[in-house]
Amino acid sequence: MGDVFYATTPPGPLIQAVETGVLHVGNLEFSILPNVFIGPEAILDRLVASGTMDSHQAFAESRSNALLVGQGNPKDIQGVADIMREDICVAMSNPESEKASFQVYLDSLVALADLAGMDGAALMELFSGKSGRVIFSNTIYHREVPQMLADGRADVAMVYYHLALHYCRIFPDMFSMVALGGTCDDPQQGPAHSITRYHLGLIGDGGDWGSSFVDFMLGNIAGAFYEKHGLQRLG
């Protein structure tokens, strides 16, 4: 068996790699074709439409969204209403380069605001960027969030629950989580939360090991890992 190569990026570069046979990483070019592709349903639908993939299926989904704040929650941020405070700066996905996660977070915040009797339109205006109280990511939001808060550039960030859990586990002295429904240990998805499902499928015939990898990802061992790290297993 040869070496295993995997890459995790926003979908765009990986789609391009599938289409061209070349993956660009900085000034490096890798002439590779993946055996398995993991991503949102809409992205994999594109691969099916192009004939690159025969089918795909969901294996896990997000368990609601949460607010990430500094350890001890120094500005006492308890929910969506506090995001509207004039003294709060919010970190958010870039609406141009990371449209998918930006829309998930914005839709969830607006829905939560509406349920609480708040002005959802005012919240949308806040995230238009005109207020100066939102700091958008430059490259990959989910990798930038901890530094945004640690540097004091933002007071709070909207993230998937499983990511908030991850940040709090690896930096327990730096970050805390504020649940948006349920508790930090048992979040409740609820109708206001936009949920992301994660799909996988074989590229072509999947090579020598692709089918076995898919079987593993859909099995009980992998499913237990999803739940341990804050995802909801499917199947």
User: Domain coordinates of the chain in residue numbers?
Assistant: 11-61+196-233, 64-179
The CA-CA-CA angle for residues 183, 185, 186, to 5°, reads: 65
pLDDT at 92 over 90: yes
Mean pLDDT of 65-94: 96
Q: Return the SS3 of 21.
A: coil
Whole-angstrom Cα distance, residue 141 to residue 104? 13
- Give the pLDDT mean for 143-154: 96
Q: What is the mean pLDDT of residues 30-34?
A: 81
CATH 3.40.190.10 fits 64-179, yes or no: yes
pLDDT at residue 191 in the model: 83
State the pLDDT confidence band at 2, using cuts at 50, 70 and 90.
low
Contact 32, 5 (CB under 8 A): yes
Non-local (6+) Cβ contacts of 176 within 8 A are 68, 69, 70, 71, 72, 73, 168
Which pLDDT value is given to residue 31?
83
Residue 45 has pLDDT above 90, yes or no: yes
| pLDDT at res. 11 | 73
Distances (CA, A) of 45 to 12, 16, 22, 41, 215: 14, 15, 21, 6, 20
- d(CA 101, CA 159) in angstroms, rounded, equals 9
Contact yes or no for 175/184 (Cβ under 8 A) = no
What is the 8-class DSSP label of residue 213? H
Mean pLDDT, residues 88-105: 93
Mean per-residue pLDDT of the chain = 91
Q: Tell me how long the chain is.
A: 235
pLDDT the model gives residue 29? 84
**For the chain, what percent of residues have pLDDT higher than 90?**
63
